[in-house]
C-alpha cells in the first residue's frame, strides 16, 4: 500500500488473509491468464520498484584517504508481476484457478496456517457474510462407522464382482400385507410406490445451478436409466422445471419439488395434460440442512430471461423463498393439505413426501406422517447439507446432524411397527470427505431407505472446487469458476453438459460397485440392508450408545 | 506283483464304512506296493483317486463303483485314469493336475473347479458351477471337460483356461445348455457348445466362429470322448458342424470400453431426439451453450479494457480553482513546445507569474497524484509560472458590442475583465486605489512577490484592458448609472473592511490591511515590539513586513491553533515571529496586549488580522446579501441578473479562487451575451494545442501507477525535469508501456493524424487480464466488466 495511505480498521495485510497468493517471479511469464481467470479479482498485475544499493569496498584510492573507495550510490529498477489485493472485498478464495491456467505453475493460493483476520471484517456495511458451499467441518460420524459384521463362513458370503444384485429401494407408502390384500380385494386405492435406486440426486434448482450443469445432471440420470438400467432419480429443487422436460418421457426420472416460493408451478400445472409420464414423486420442501429455518432470495440481477421463463416470472425481479410456507399454520394442516393437494395434481398416482431440515422436531413431523395415509415418506436433510447461498451463521451453527436424527426417526418407526411402510430419505454431508458409498451404506443401515446427495454430485460430476476448508464457496455470487452455479454464459459454458453427464454415470457406476463391496460381504444382494444396524460399529462409546450400534475398538 | 493284478479296495468292511482317511491310506499303500489297477467300491469317501504317484511312473487305473463322495480325483496326477461307473458327486476333478476321469452318468455341482490339467469326461449333465476357476499352465496341455449333456447354472465362472465341450445331448434344460449366467469373470479358455443358451456374460466372453482347426480338434476328440463314455453311436449326431458354437474369453483389451452408447451418441440420438433441438432449454433460448475454454477473447472475455484517454480531469487541474490544465502544459514541455506551454496560461489567468509563480499555495501540487497517492514530490508548477512573466499579451478578437463594467481591479476583477476581453467584449474596470492589482499590488509584501514581476503582468493587463479607471469611489447612484451604461456589471471589490474586536483600547489597534498597505509604501512605524492578533497568513505577512521595517520581537497570538501555512508562515518564522495560542485578549494598553489571564505581552504596535469584510455600502437593495457577503448563485449571478459578484465579496478565498471565479463568471456572461447558455464553448483556446474540459470528474488517484517515479527526488531542477516526472494523470502520454506489457500484443495504436492517436485492444487477441491498466502511469486504462449476456 502507498506509504501515506491512512489505514482503516479493515485494512489487512496479505498475512491476515485466509488464502495467500504464492507467486514465483522466476517462472512467471506474465501471460495474464491468472488475472483474467480469477473469479473475484483477488490478483492483479503489479508494477514494482526495486532499489539496489552499491557500496564500494573500503580502501585508499581516488584521493580518498579513508573509508570507501568511491561514493556509495543507489539505483532503482522496475519489475512486473502479480500482486494480491488485500481489500476484504477482494480477498482470495483459494479456488486456485490461477494455478490451473498458469503454464509454468508459478502461482498458487496457500491456506494460511494461522487464524485469519479476514473473518472479522466480512460484515462491511453491516451485512454479515453469506456464502455458498459447506459447513467447513471435516467431522463426520458417518465416516467413523465401520461395517463389521462380515460373513465369514456364516451367511452366504457374496461376491460383489460376480453376484447378481438388486440394489433398489421403495419410495411411497407401503401398505402392510393384510391391508394391501384387503385393498386389492376391495379394489381400493393403493398408494403409489416407486422402485428406485437408493442414491438420489437431491434438490438443486435450475437457477441455483447453471443451465449446462442442470442439463448435464439430467442427461446423466437419463443415461443411467436408459442405457444402464439404473433407476436413478433427481429432484428439481425449487425453481420449476424446463417445459420440454415436463413433456418428455424423462419426466419419470424426475422428482418435482415445491417449496415456499412455488416458482414454476403454474408452468408445471399447465404442462400436466401434456405429460407423457408422471413424475417419479413430488417433494415438498419445508427446510434444508444447510440453512434450517431460513429462506432464500434469488436476487433480481440473477433472474435472467431463461430463469424467468422457467420460473414463470418476468426477468429482473427478486424471487424470495420465505423460510416458511405462507399457509403453514401447524404440522397437521401444512402437511395434510400440501400432501393432499400435490397428490391430487396427478390423480393420486404420484408419491408425495415432505423434506425437512434435521431437527429435534423431526419426530413430531414423522409421527404426524405415520397417521397420514397419503404421506409417501419423509426426507430429512442434516446439518452438513450444502447450499447455494446462506448466511455463514446459518450454515455453520444451525441444524442437527443427520445420523442421530435419522436413527431416532427410524427407531420410532420400528416402535410403531411401520419401519417398512414409511421410507425415510436421508441426506446432508453424505460423502463430504469422499466416502460416498460408506456414508450412504451407513445411513441405510441406520434406517434410511434412500440417500440424497448434492454437494458430492457437484464435486464429482462437475469438478466443484469447494472444500470443507472454506475453499471457493462462492456459489452465491454467480461467479462460480467452474460454471456450476453461474447464470453467466461466459462462465457456465466452461462446463460441457455431456461431460457432466458422463461423470454422473461414472460416479453412479463406481458407487454401485462400492455399495456392493459393502453389502455383499454382509450377505446382502437382493434387498437393501435398511436398518441393518447390527452390522455397524463405531469406536466412540457415546456415539455407539446414541445410535444404538456396537461399540468396537 | 504282476502288472495286471487288480487290487480291490472296499469302501465298507466288517466294521462298517471305511473312513475317507483309511481308504486313502489303503489306496496309497497299494500304489506304493506297485499296484497299477485299482478297483474301489466307494461308499461316499472323499477325494478318491487323486494324488497317485506310482513309484515307477507307470500309469494307474482306478475303477470306481458304488457311490464316490465329493471331489473324486481331486488333485489328480498325470498317469492316473479314473473311471466312475455311475454318477459323480460334487467337485469332480477338483484341482485336477493331470488325471483323466470318466464319469458314466451325470456329475453334480462344481465339476472341474480349479482344474489345471487332465481331462474329465462326463456321460451326462453337470450341476452348477462347473468348469469354474480352471487354469491353463503353459508347461502342460490345456485341461478339458467334456459333457455329453448340459451345464448347470454359473458355468465357467472365473474360467481362466482350458477347454469345455458341452454337447447338449439330452440336456436337463433343452432350451439352455449352459445354465443361468455362465462365463461371469471368465478370463481365459474356450467353450464349445451345442444347443441354445440364455446368454452369457457379454462383458467377459464373446462368441467366435469355429475355425477349421478347431473343428478338426473337436471332431477328432469327440471320437475319443464318445469312446470313453461308450456312446460311440452318437458320433454322427454330435458332429454336425453348424450346430456348434464357441465362446472364448475376451482379452483384457477387449474388455476395455463397453457396448454402452457413448454420451455424445446418447446426447444426439436419445436426449435431443426426445427433447428437441437444443436439448433441455432449446425452446427457451437461442444462446450458444457450447463449451469454451477458461481463457477467452472477444465477446467471451469477462473483462474488457477501455482506453479512457482524457475522460477524467487530472487531479492538478481538478484541484486548481483557476482550472489550469497543468498536466497538459507539462506534456507541451515534453513535446518541446516550451513557449506554448508557458503562454497557454494566459488563457486561464492574467497573472501566471505573480500567482502561479509566487503567491499561490499551489493547490495543484497539493492535489498532485504523486503527493496524494505516492508520497512523492509533486512536480513544481512555479517553474512554469515564473516563466509566464514574459508572455506577450494574447491576440485579441474584435469587439462584440457587449459592454461590461467591472467594479474592482483586484485579481477577481482583472480576471473577469481579462477573460471577457479575450472573448471579445468591451470591458471597463473601476477601482478605488491608485494602482491596479488590488491587494497584490497594495498589501502583499514585496518579499513574496517581486515588484517587477507584478508590474510586468499589470502592464500586460493594461495592454489588454485599456479602460481602467482608478480612484473611483462609487456611490449608489453611480452604480445605477453603470447598470444603465453597460450590459452587465461585475462586482469584485473584495473585502476591504477590517474586522476588529470590541475591547478597551481597541483604538490602539492597527488593522492588518492598513498596516500592510502602509508598509508597502514604507510608511508604517512599528517600534521594536509588535503583537499581531490573529495568526493566519495575513498576520504572517504583517510579521514579515514588520521585521523588514525594524521590529525585533514579533508575537502572533490566536485563540486557536494558527491556520497559517505555506510560504507566509515560513517567512514569518524566518523573521523570528513567535506563535502563541490559545490567547484571549482582554484589552490593549500602552504597555501592550493584556490577556484574559492577566499576562501582558509588551507591544509598541498592535495589529489585528482576523479577516476583512466587504464594504457593501454602494450596493442597491436589489442585490441580496447574507451576513456581510453578496449572495450569488452557482453562476456568480446576484439577485439582480444583470449583476455578477466574484471574489472575496462573495466568500473569502485564495487569489486563485478569485481568478477562477472571474473566469467562470466571464464564461457565463459570454454565453448569456451570445444567447447560448448553458453551452460550453472553448473555441478561444484553439490557438493552443491542448485539450480542455471542465465538465468531467477528477480521475481516481488509485488509477495511476507511480512506481516509475523515484521517491528520492525531492526537488526539481527545471521545467524539463518537472515535465519528465509528471504522471500525466488521465491523459495518455504515449509511452507505449501497455503495448509492451500486453501478454497477447492486443493493443493497437491507431494514428488519427495531427499528432492525435488512439489505442484500441484488439478483441480477437485481448483476454481481459487488466495488465494494461496496472502498468499505466497515466491511469488511462479502465477494466470494465463485459456487457452481461443471457
Shared domain check, B422 and B357: no
* Residues of A with Cβ-Cβ distance to B285 under 8 angstroms: 211, 305-306
| SS3 call for B489 | strand
Chain B nearest C-alpha distance from A532 (Å): 29
> Is ipTM over 0.85?
yes
Residue B754 within a domain: yes
Cα–Cα distance measured from residue B73 to residue B456, given in angstroms and rounded to the nearest whole number = 132
Whose CA is closest to B171, among B87, B106, B259?
B106
Q: Which residues of chain A have pLDDT under 50?
A: none
Chain B CB within 8 Å of residue A45 CB? yes
Shared domain check, B511 and B490: no
B189 in Cβ contact with B137 (< 8 Å)? no
* Residues of A with Cβ-Cβ distance to B185 under 8 angstroms: 161-162
Q: What's the domain count of chain A?
A: 2
A101 in Cβ contact with B294 (< 8 Å)? yes
Shared domain check, B627 and B517: no
Residue A189 within a domain: yes
At residue A489's C-alpha, the angle toward residues A483 and A493, to 5°, is 55
Shared domain check, B35 and B116: no
Rg (CA), chain A: 28
Residues with Cβ < 8 Å from A84, sequence gap 6 or more? A14, A17, A20, A21, A23, A42, A43, A92
Cα–Cα distance measured from residue B262 to residue B265, given in angstroms and rounded to the nearest whole number = 5
Shared domain check, B417 and B457: yes
Chain B CB within 8 Å of residue A353 CB? no
Shared domain check, A317 and A252: yes
Range of the domain at A222: 141-551
Shared domain check, A176 and A74: no
Shared domain check, A293 and A176: yes
Q: Which helix (H) or strand (E) holds A223?
A: helix A211-226
Residue B683: predicted pLDDT: 45
B535 in Cβ contact with B509 (< 8 Å)? no
Residues with Cβ < 8 Å from A198, sequence gap 6 or more? A167, A168, A169, A440, A444, A449, A450, A451, A528
Residue B1: predicted pLDDT: 42
Residue with grid cell 466443484, as numbered in its chain = A464
Residue B256: predicted pLDDT: 61
Whose CA is closest to A240, among A271, A219, A202, A273?
A271
Shared domain check, B645 and B504: no
Residue with grid cell 499296484, as numbered in its chain = B35
Domain boundary among B590, B610, B630: B610
Chain B nearest C-alpha distance from A405 (Å): 37
| SS3 call for A226 | helix
At residue B743's C-alpha, the angle toward residues B737 and B744, to 5°, is 110
Shared domain check, A171 and A320: yes
Interface test mutation site (partner B, options A2, A29, A30, A36, max chain B beta carbons within 10 A) = A36
- Is B743 in contact with A502 (Cβ distance < 8 A)? no
CATH assignment of the domain containing A155: 3.20.20.70
- Is A162 in contact with B275 (Cβ distance < 8 A)? no
What are the contacts of B88-96 at 24+ separation with CB within 8 A? B88/B122, B90/B127, B92/B120, B92/B122, B93/B118, B93/B120, B93/B145, B96/B50, B96/B120, B96/B143
Residue B262 within a domain: no
What's A301's DSSP letter? Answer: G
Shared domain check, B596 and B651: no
CATH assignment of the domain containing A39: 3.30.70
Shared domain check, B244 and B117: yes
Shared domain check, B618 and B589: no
| SS3 call for A492 | helix
Chain A CB within 8 Å of residue B276 CB? yes
Domain boundary among B610, B626, B641: B610
At residue A328's C-alpha, the angle toward residues A324 and A333, to 5°, is 150
Shared domain check, A191 and A110: no
Question: What values do phi and psi take at A305, rounded to 5?
Answer: -50, -45
Domain boundary among B561, B587, B610: B610
B residues 367-406 closer than 8 Å to A (CB): 372-375
Which chain B residue shows the shortest CA-CA distance from A97? Answer: B294
Chain B nearest C-alpha distance from A422 (Å): 33
Residue B276 within a domain: no
Shared domain check, A329 and A201: yes
Q: What's the domain count of chain B?
A: 6
Shared domain check, B172 and B84: yes
Residue B397 within a domain: no
At residue A454's C-alpha, the angle toward residues A451 and A458, to 5°, is 135
CATH assignment of the domain containing B770: 3.30.70.20
- Is A488 in contact with B788 (Cβ distance < 8 A)? yes
Dihedral angle of Cα B147, B150, B155, B159, to the nearest 10 degrees: 30
Q: Name residue B65's beta-bridge partners.
A: B41
CATH assignment of the domain containing B629: 3.50.50.60
Residue A159 within a domain: yes
Residue A230 within a domain: yes
B688 in Cβ contact with B380 (< 8 Å)? no
Shared domain check, A383 and A502: yes
For residue A541, give Cα distances in angstroms to A145, A494, A538, A550.
Answer: 12, 47, 7, 9
Chain A nearest C-alpha distance from B526 (Å): 44
- Is B771 in contact with A226 (Cβ distance < 8 A)? no
Residue A6 within a domain: no
Residues with Cβ < 8 Å from A106, sequence gap 6 or more? A23, A24, A26, A27, A28, A29
Shared domain check, B641 and B530: no
3-state per-residue secondary structure call for A434-483: CCHHHHHHHHHHHCCCEEEECHHHHHHHHCCCCCCCCCCCCHHHCCCCCC
Shared domain check, B126 and B244: yes
3-state per-residue secondary structure call for A7-38: CCCCCCCHHHCCEEEEECCCCCCCCCHHHHHC
Shared domain check, A162 and A53: no
Residue A335 within a domain: yes
Whose CA is closest to B680, among B700, B660, B696?
B696
Chain B CB within 8 Å of residue A53 CB? no
Shared domain check, A188 and A331: yes
Residue B286 within a domain: no
For residue A210, give Cα distances in angstroms to A202, A248, A481.
Answer: 16, 21, 12
Residue B299 within a domain: no
Residues with Cβ < 8 Å from B411, sequence gap 6 or more? B351, B355, B437, B438, B439, B440, B647, B655, B658, B659, B662
Residue B686 within a domain: no
Shared domain check, A435 and A475: yes
Shared domain check, A180 and A35: no
Cα–Cα distance measured from residue A105 to residue B678, given in angstroms and rounded to the nearest whole number = 58
| SS3 call for B17 | strand
Shared domain check, A394 and A293: yes
Which chain B residue shows the shortest CA-CA distance from A211? Answer: B281
Q: Is the dihedral of CA B275, B281, B282, B288 positive or negative?
A: negative
* Residues of A with Cβ-Cβ distance to B275 under 8 angstroms: 244-245, 248, 250
- Is A211 in contact with B281 (Cβ distance < 8 A)? yes
Whose CA is closest to B335, among B43, B727, B69, B734?
B734
Which chain A residue shows the shortest CA-CA distance from B768? Answer: A36
Residue with grid cell 499551489, as numbered in its chain = B362
Range of the domain at B97: 70-255
- Is A244 in contact with B280 (Cβ distance < 8 A)? yes
Residue B284 within a domain: no
Q: What is the mean pLDDT of each run of 10 residues along chain B (790 residues)?
A: 75 93 95 94 94 92 95 94 96 96 96 96 96 95 97 94 96 95 93 95 92 96 96 95 96 75 95 95 92 96 95 92 91 92 92 94 92 89 93 89 93 95 92 91 88 95 94 88 93 90 90 91 89 93 92 93 89 92 92 92 93 88 88 88 92 91 90 64 56 81 93 90 93 94 96 90 96 96 91
* Residues of B with Cβ-Cβ distance to A506 under 8 angstroms: none
Residue B375: predicted pLDDT: 84
* Residues of B with Cβ-Cβ distance to A215 under 8 angstroms: 279-281
- Is A505 in contact with B263 (Cβ distance < 8 A)? yes
Number of H helices, E strands in chain B: 23, 34
Residue B222: predicted pLDDT: 97
- Count the residues in chain B: 790
Amino acid at each position: 500500500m502507498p506509504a501515506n495511505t491512512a489505514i482503516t480498521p479493515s485494512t489487512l495485510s496479505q498475512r491476515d488473509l485466509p488464502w495467500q497468493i504464492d507467486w514465483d517471479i522466476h517462472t512467471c511469464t506474465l501471460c495474464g491468464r491468472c488475472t483474467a481467470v480469477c473469479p473475484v479479482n483477488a490478483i492483479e498485475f503489479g508494477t514494482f520498484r526495486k532499489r539496489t544499493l552499491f557500496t564500494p569496498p573500503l580502501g585508499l584510492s581516488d584521493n580518498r584517504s579513508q573509508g570507501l573507495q568511491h561514493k556509495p550510490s543507489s539505483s532503482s529498477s522496475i519489475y512486473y508481476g502479480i500482486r494480491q489485493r488485500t481489500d476484504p472485498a477482494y480477498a482470495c478464495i483459494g479456488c486456485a484457478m490461477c494455478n490451473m491456467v498458469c503454464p509454468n505453475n508459478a502461482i498458487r493460493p496457500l491456506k494460511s496456517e494461522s487464524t485469519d483476520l479476514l473473518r472479522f471484517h466480512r460484515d462491511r456495511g453491516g451485512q454479515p457474510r453469506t456464502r455458498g458451499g459447506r459447513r467447513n467441518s471435516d467431522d463426520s460420524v458417518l465416516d467413523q462407522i465401520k461395517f463389521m459384521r462380515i460373513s465369514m463362513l456364516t451367511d452366504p458370503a457374496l461376491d460383489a464382482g460376480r453376484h447378481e444384485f438388486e440394489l433398489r429401494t421403495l419410495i411411497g407408502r407401503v401398505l402392510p400385507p393384510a391391508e394391501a390384500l384387503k385393498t386389492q380385494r376391495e379394489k381400493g386405492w393403493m398408494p403409489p410406490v416407486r422402485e428406485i435406486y437408493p442414491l438420489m440426486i437431491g434438490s438443486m434448482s435450475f437457477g441455483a445451478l447453471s443451465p449446462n450443469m442442470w442439463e448435464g445432471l439430467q442427461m446423466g440420470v437419463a443415461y443411467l436409466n436408459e442405457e444402464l438400467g439404473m433407476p436413478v432419480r433427481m429432484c428439481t429443487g425449487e425453481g420449476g422445471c424446463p417445459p420440454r422436460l415436463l413433456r418428455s418421457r424423462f419426466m419419470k426420472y424426475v422428482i418435482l419439488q415445491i417449496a415456499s416460493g412455488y416458482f414454476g408451478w403454474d408452468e408445471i400445472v399447465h404442462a400436466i395434460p401434456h405429460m407423457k409420464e408422471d413424475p417419479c414423486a413430488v417433494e415438498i420442501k419445508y427446510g434444508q440442512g444447510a440453512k434450517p429455518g431460513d429462506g432464500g432470495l434469488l436476487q433480481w440481477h440473477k433472474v435472467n430471461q431463461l430463469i424467468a421463463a422457467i420460473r414463470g416470472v418476468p426477468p429482473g425481479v427478486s424471487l424470495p423463498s420465505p423460510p416458511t410456507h405462507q399457509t403453514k399454520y401447524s404440522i397437521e394442516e401444512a402437511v395434510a393439505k400440501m400432501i393432499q393437494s400435490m397428490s391430487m395434481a396427478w390423480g393420486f398416482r404420484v408419491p408425495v413426501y415432505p423434506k425437512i431440515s434435521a431437527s429435534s422436531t423431526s419426530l413430531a413431523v414423522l409421527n404426524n406422517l405415520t397417521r397420514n395415509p397419503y404421506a409417501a415418506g419423509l426426507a430429512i436433510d442434516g446439518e452438513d447439507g450444502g447450499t447455494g447461498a446462506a448466511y455463514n451463521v446459518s450454515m455453520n451453527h444451525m441444524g442437527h446432524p443427520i445420523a442421530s436424527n435419522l436413527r431416532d426417526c427410524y427407531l420410532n418407526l420400528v416402535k410403531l411397527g411401520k419401519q417398512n411402510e414409511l421410507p425415510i430419505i436421508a441426506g446432508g454431508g453424505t460423502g463430504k470427505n469422499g466416502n460416498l458409498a460408506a456414508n450412504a451404506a451407513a445411513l441405510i443401515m441406520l434406517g434410511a431407505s434412500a440417500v440424497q446427495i448434492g454437494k458430492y454430485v457437484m464435486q464429482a460430476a462437475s469438478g466443484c472446487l469447494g472444500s470443507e476448508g472454506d475453499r471457493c464457496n462462492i456459489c452465491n455470487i454467480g461467479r462460480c469458476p467452474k460454471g456450476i452455479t453461474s447464470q453467466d454464459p461466459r462462465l457456465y459454458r466452461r462446463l460441457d453438459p455431456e461431460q457432466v453427464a458422463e461423470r454422473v454415470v461414472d460416479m453412479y457406476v463406481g458407487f454401485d460397485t462400492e455399495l456392493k463391496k459393502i453389502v455383499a460381504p454382509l450377505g446382502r444382494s437382493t434387498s437393501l440392508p435398511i436398518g441393518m444396524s447390527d452390522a455397524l460399529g463405531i469406536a466412540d462409546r457415546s456415539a455407539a450408545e446414541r445410535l444404538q450400534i456396537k461399540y468396537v475398538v | 506283483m504282476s502288472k495286471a493284478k487288480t487290487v480291490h479296495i472296499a469302501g465298507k468292511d466288517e466294521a462298517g464304512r471305511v473312513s475317507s482317511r483309511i481308504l486313502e491310506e489303503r489306496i496309497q499303500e497299494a500304489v506304493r506296493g506297485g499296484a497299477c489297477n485299482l478297483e474301489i467300491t466307494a461308499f461316499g469317501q472323499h477325494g478318491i483317486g487323486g494324488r497317485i504317484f506310482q513309484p515307477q511312473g507307470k500309469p494307474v487305473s482306478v475303477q470306481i463303483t458304488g457311490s464316490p463322495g465329493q471331489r473324486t480325483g481331486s488333485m489328480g496326477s498325470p498317469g492316473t485314469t479314473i473311471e466312475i461307473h455311475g454318477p459323480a458327486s460334487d467337485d469332480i476333478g477338483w484341482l485336477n493336475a493331470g488325471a483323466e476321469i470318466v464319469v458314466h452318468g451325470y456329475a453334480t455341482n462344481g465339476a472341474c473347479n480349479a482344474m489345471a490339467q487332465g481331462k474329465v469326461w462326463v456321460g451326462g449333465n453337470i450341476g452348477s458351477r462347473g468348469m469354474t476357476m480352471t487354469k491353463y499352465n503353459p508347461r502342460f496341455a490345456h485341461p478339458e471337460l467334456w459333457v455329453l449333456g448340459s451345464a448347470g447354472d454359473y458355468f465357467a465362472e472365473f474360467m481362466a483356461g482350458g477347454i469345455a465341450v458341452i454337447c447338449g445331448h439330452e440336456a436337463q434344460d433343452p432350451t439352455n445348455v449352459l445354465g443361468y449366467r455362465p462365463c461371469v469373470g471368465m478370463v481365459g479358455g474356450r467353450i464349445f457348445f451345442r444347443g441354445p443358451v440364455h446368454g452369457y456374460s457379454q462383458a467377459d466372453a464373446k462368441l467366435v466362429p469355429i475355425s477349421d482347426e478347431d473343428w478338426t480338434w473337436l471332431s477328432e476328440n469327440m471320437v475319443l470322448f464318445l469312446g470313453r463314455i461308450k456312446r460311440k453311436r452318437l458320433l454322427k449326431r454330435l458332429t454336425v458342424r453348424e450346430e456348434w458354437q464357441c465362446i472364448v474369453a475376451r482379452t483384457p483389451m477387449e474388455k476395455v470400453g463397453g457396448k454402452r452408447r457413448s454420451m455424445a451418441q446418447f446426447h444426439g440420438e436419445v436426449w435431443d431426439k426426445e427433447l428437441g433441438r437444443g436439448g433441455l432449454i432449446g425452446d427457451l433460448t437461442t444462446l450458444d451453450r457450447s463449451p469454451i475454454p477458461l481463457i477467452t477473447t472477444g465477446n467471451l472475455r469477462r473483462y474488457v479494457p477501455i482506453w479512457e484517454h482524457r475522460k477524467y480531469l487530472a487531479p492538478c487541474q481538478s484541484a486548481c480553482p483557476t482550472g489550469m490544465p497543468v498536466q497538459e502544459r507539462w506534456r507541451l514541455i515534453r513535446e518541446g513546445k516550451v513557449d506554448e506551454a508557458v503562454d497557454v496560461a494566459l488563457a486561464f489567468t492574467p497573472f501566471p507569474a505573480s500567482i502561479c509563480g509566487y503567491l499561490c499555495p499551489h493547490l495543484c501540487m497539493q492535489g498532485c497524484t504523486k503527493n496524494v497517492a505516492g508520497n512523492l514530490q509533486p512536480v513544481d508548477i512555479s517553474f512554469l509560472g515564473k516563466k509566464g512573466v514574459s508572455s506577450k499579451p494574447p491576440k485579441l478578437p474584435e469587439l462584440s458590442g457587449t459592454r461590461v463594467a467591472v467594479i474592482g481591479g483586484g485579481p477577481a476583477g482583472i480576471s473577469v475583465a481579462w477573460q471577457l476581453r479575450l472573448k471579445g467584449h468591451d470591458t471597463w474596470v473601476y477601482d478605488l486605489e491608485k494602482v491596479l492589482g488590488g491587494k497584490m499590488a497594495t498589501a502583499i509584501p514585496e518579499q513574496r512577490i517581486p515588484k517587477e514581476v507584478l508590474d510586468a503582468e499589470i502592464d500586460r493587463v493594461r495592454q489588454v484592458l485599456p479602460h481602467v479607471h482608478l480612484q473611483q469611489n462609487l456611490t449608489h447612484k453611480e452604480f445605477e448609472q453603470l447598470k444603465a451604461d453597460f450590459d452587465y456589471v461585475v462586482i469584485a471589490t473584495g473585502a476591504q473592511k477590517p474586522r476588529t474586536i470590541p475591547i478597551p483600547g481597541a483604538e490602539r489597534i492597527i488593522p492588518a490591511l492598513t498596516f500592510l498597505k502602509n508598509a508597502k509604501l514604507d510608511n508604517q512605524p512599528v517600534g521594536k515590539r509588535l503583537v499581531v492578533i490573529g495568526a493566519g497568513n495575513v498576520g504572517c505577512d504583517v510579521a514579515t513586513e514588520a521585521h523588514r521595517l525594524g521590529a525585533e520581537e514579533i508575537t502572533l497570538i490566536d485563540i486557536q491553533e494558527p491556520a497559517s501555512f505555506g510560504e507566509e508562515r515560513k517567512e514569518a518564522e524566518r523573521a523570528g515571529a513567535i506563535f502563541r495560542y490559545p490567547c484571549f485578549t482582554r484589552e490593549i494598553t500602552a504597555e501592550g496586549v493584556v490577556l484574559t489571564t492577566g499576562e501582558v505581552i509588551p507591544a509598541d504596535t498592535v495589529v489585528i488580522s482576523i479577516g476583512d469584510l466587504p464594504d457593501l455600502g454602494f450596493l442597491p437593495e436589489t442585490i441580496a446579501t447574507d451576513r456581510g457577503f453578496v449572495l450569488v448563485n452557482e453562476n456568480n449571478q446576484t439577485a439582480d441578473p444583470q449583476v455578477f459578484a466574484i471574489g472575496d465579496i462573495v466568500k473569502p478565498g485564495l487569489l486563485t479562487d478569485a481568478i477562477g471565479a472571474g473566469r467562470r463568471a466571464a464564461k457565463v456572461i459570454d454565453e448569456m451575451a451570445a444567447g447560448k447558455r448553458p453551452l460550453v464553448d472553448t473555441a478561444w483556446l484553439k490557438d493552443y494545442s491542448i485539450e480542455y474540459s471542465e465538465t468531467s470528474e477528477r480521475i481516481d488517484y488509485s488509477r495511476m501507477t507511480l512506481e516509475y517515479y523515484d521517491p528520492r527526488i525531492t526537488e526539481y531542477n527545471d521545467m524539463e525535469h518537472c515535465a519528465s516526472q509528471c504522471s500525466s494523470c488521465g491523459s495518455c502520454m504515449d509511452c507505449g508501456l501497455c503495448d509492451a506489457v500486453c501478454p497477447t500484443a492486443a493493443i493497437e495504436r491507431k494514428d488519427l493524424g495531427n499528432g492525435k492517436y488512439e489505442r484500441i485492444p484488439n478483441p480477437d487477441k485481448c483476454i481481459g487480464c487488466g495488465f494494461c491498466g496496472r502498468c499505466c502511469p497515466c491511469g488511462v486504462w479502465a477494466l470494465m466488466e463485459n456487457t452481461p449476456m443471457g
